[in-house]
């Protein structure tokens, strides 16, 4: 039997902060107590549940560190895993796109073989944190049906999101901004963008209904939680609710966020939006939604270190550290159906982080997964 006691800590419990100690036994939280105990001195630092990340593009950044550069997959997966551990993330849903467009640059099929590589590295015991799959189902694509068919119920797919990046839709509803973004990123002329846009609009009309039906059927078949992405209007949210969507990733307007709340759909916003003080793409400010009580879960999106930083920002905004920490721990764990983590409570996994606050900034000092220190 392995036992560790962390003492002289400020424990972030679901509804209050308590000075005390926590007992870890065989990878689980065995007991929580007030006051000192014999054990490892945490020097008055905070102890919180490990962070749970539902949507991150970080692995893709390690796989493609520069345009037209593909890094070897195994080192990229391990570097991604180590970076997340070093930022306090103890459970991650690796976001992989399914649905490709062969004629579109950098939009070929990759999810199934990459998921097998992640699984092989996990089975070899080389990963520091817990990895699950989040399949981002691209409705405007040519191969979504075939790619989804390659996954089985035992492939750890716990989250499926419905994505629609057709120009004129959702996040890309403003064609002027879309033209500017795509042209700068891909070096397109105006005429080239018009051809590109029309090809995607035609593809969405031809394949979209069948792709959407396949994604919904797949989520039911594997028992995955269903998410929407970039809802912009109340009509989008009503459609999501009809599909059985439980999570709304990054609603782009206050109207959509309020409609999510009315339909009982949990609202996820990006940590970079909170940390930067606004959306980089002109969408609704996450602080506005937080102030209106329309924010449930925070995702690091493309900057892993932003997750804990965003929780610290919310703690100042709400003057409520436990509530803020729940947006990156208990709430995402509950939304994803992970009942064994996300809170400090006896009987749960000892996924923990140790941090202190310095001038309002959260400084991570330790990360523990199932009772073992990994960073």
Residues 27-65 pLDDT 10s: 999 999 999 999 999 999 999 999 999 999 999 999 999
Indicate whether 90 belongs to any domain: yes
What is the β-pairing status of strands 28-34 and 40-41? unpaired
pLDDT of residue 109: 94
Those residues whose C-beta lies under 8 Å from the C-beta of residue 146, and which sit 6 or more positions away, are none
Q: Helix, strand, or coil here: 287?
A: helix
Buried b / exposed e over 50-69, threshold 16 CB at 10 Å, is: bbbbbbbebbbbbbeeeeee
pLDDT of residue 120: 98
Which of 103-112, 191-200, 211-220, 334-343 is least confident?
191-200
Indicate whether 40 belongs to any domain: no
**Domain CATH code at residue 222:** 3.20.20.140
CA–CA distance, 294 with 333 (Å, rounded to integer): 18
Indicate whether 39 belongs to any domain: no
pLDDT of residue 118: 98
Q: Is the confidence at residue 181, as pLDDT, over 90? A: no
pLDDT of residue 2: 87
In this predicted model, what pLDDT tens digit does every residue of 154-172 receive, in sequence order? 999 999 999 987 765 766 6
What is the distance of C-alpha 238 from the center of its chain? 23
Indicate whether 268 belongs to any domain: yes
Indicate whether 284 belongs to any domain: yes
Domain count, the chain: 1
Q: Whole domain around residue 82: which residue ranges?
A: 50-341
Closest CA to 374 of 156, 59, 84: 84
Indicate whether 134 belongs to any domain: yes
The secondary structure of the chain in percent helix, strand, coil, rounded to multiples of 5, reads 40, 25, 35
CA–CA distance, 124 with 181 (Å, rounded to integer): 41
CA–CA distance, 101 with 255 (Å, rounded to integer): 32
Q: Is the confidence at residue 358, as pLDDT, over 90? A: yes
Indicate whether 320 belongs to any domain: yes
pLDDT of residue 188: 67
pTM for the whole structure: 0.93
CA–CA distance, 229 with 213 (Å, rounded to integer): 16
Alpha-carbon distances of 53 from 56, 102, 137, 299, 333, rounded to whole Å: 7, 30, 18, 6, 9
Alpha-carbon distances of 227 from 248, 268, 270, 292, rounded to whole Å: 6, 10, 15, 22
Indicate whether 198 belongs to any domain: yes
Closest CA to 165 of 101, 217, 248: 101
More confident residue, 29 or 195: 29
């Amino acid at each position: 039997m392995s036992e560790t006691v962390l003492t002289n800590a400020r424990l972030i419990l679901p509804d209050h902060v308590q000075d005390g100690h926590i007992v870890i036994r065989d990878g689980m939280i065995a007991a929580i107590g007030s006051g000192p105990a014999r054990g490892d001195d945490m020097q008055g630092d905070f102890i919180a549940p490990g962070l749970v990340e539902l949507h991150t593009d970080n692995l893709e950044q390690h796989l493609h560190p520069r345009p037209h550069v593909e890094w070897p997959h195994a080192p990229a997966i391990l570097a991604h895993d180590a970076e997340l551990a070093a930022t306090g993330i103890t459970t991650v849903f690796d976001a992989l796109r399914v649905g490709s467009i062969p004629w579109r640059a950098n939009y070929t099929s990759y999810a199934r073989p990459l998921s097998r590589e992640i699984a092989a590295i996990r089975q070899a015991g080389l990963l520091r944190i817990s990895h699950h799959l989040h399949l981002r189902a691209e409705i405007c694509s040519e191969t979504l049906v075939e790619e989804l068919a390659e996954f089985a119920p035992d492939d750890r797919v716990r989250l499926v999101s419905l994505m629609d990046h057709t120009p004129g839709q959702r996040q890309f509803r403003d064609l002027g901004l879309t033209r500017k973004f795509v042209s700068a990123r891909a070096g397109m002329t105006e005429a080239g963008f018009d051809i590109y846009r029309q090809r995607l609009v035609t593809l969405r009309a031809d394949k979209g209904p069948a792709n959407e039906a396949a994604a919904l059927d797949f989520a039911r078949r594997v028992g995955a939680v269903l998410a929407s992405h970039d809802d912009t209007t109340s009509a989008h949210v009503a459609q999501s609710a009809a599909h059985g969507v439980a999570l709304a990733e990054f609603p782009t307007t206050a109207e959509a966020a309020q409609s999510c709340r009315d339909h009982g759909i949990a609202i996820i916003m990006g940590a970079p939006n909170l940390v930067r003080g606004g959306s980089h793409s002109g969408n609704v400010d996450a602080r506005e939604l937080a102030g209106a009580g329309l924010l449930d879960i925070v995702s690091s999106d493309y900057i892993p270190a932003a997750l804990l930083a965003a929780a610290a920002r919310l703690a100042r905004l709400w003057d409520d550290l436990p509530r803020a920490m729940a947006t990156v721990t208990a709430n995402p764990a509950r939304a994803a159906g992970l009942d064994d983590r996300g809170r400090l409570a006896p009987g749960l996994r000892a996924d923990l982080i140790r941090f202190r606050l310095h001038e309002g900034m959260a400084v991570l000092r330790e990360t523990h997964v199932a009772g073992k220190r990994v960073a």
